[in-house]
Amino acid sequence: MAIEVRIPTILRTFTGGAKAVDAEGATLSGLIDNLEANHPGIKERLIEAGDLRRFINVYVNDEDVRFTGGLETALSDGDQVVVLPAVAGG
């Protein structure tokens, strides 16, 4: 069983328009590498200097990963991952 990853509109150019894709990984970091293998270019939009980009939110089972260990957040089959860019500005 895989992990479903919800893809925001702005990143669907990397997933052929798909709103959600399946991926695998024991941690969020591994999952993002797996996403990158199947959807080249997406990793750079999520990660900067080895960490999640400041204005990208990732949720695992509705928890913001900033509060659950960031890229090291552990994942299990059946987890639901949501990627949402921050809605922010000045």
Residues at the interface with other proteins (CB under 8 A): 8-10, 55, 57, 59, 62, 64, 66, 82, 84-90
Beta pairing, strands 80-85 & 3-6: parallel
**CA neighbours within 13 Å on the CB side: how many for 48?**
5
Closest CA to 23 of 86, 83, 84: 83
* Rounded Cα gap, residues 90 and 78, in angstroms: 38
Nearer to other proteins, 50 or 89 (CB): 89
Q: Which two tokens stand for residue 63?
A: 């928890």
Q: Give the shortest CB-11-to-other proteins separation in angstroms.
A: 9
Q: Which two tokens stand for residue 11?
A: 């990143």
Nearer to other proteins, 35 or 60 (CB): 60
Nearer to other proteins, 50 or 54 (CB): 54
Q: Give the shortest CB-55-to-other proteins separation in angstroms.
A: 6
Q: Give the shortest CB-74-to-other proteins separation in angstroms.
A: 20
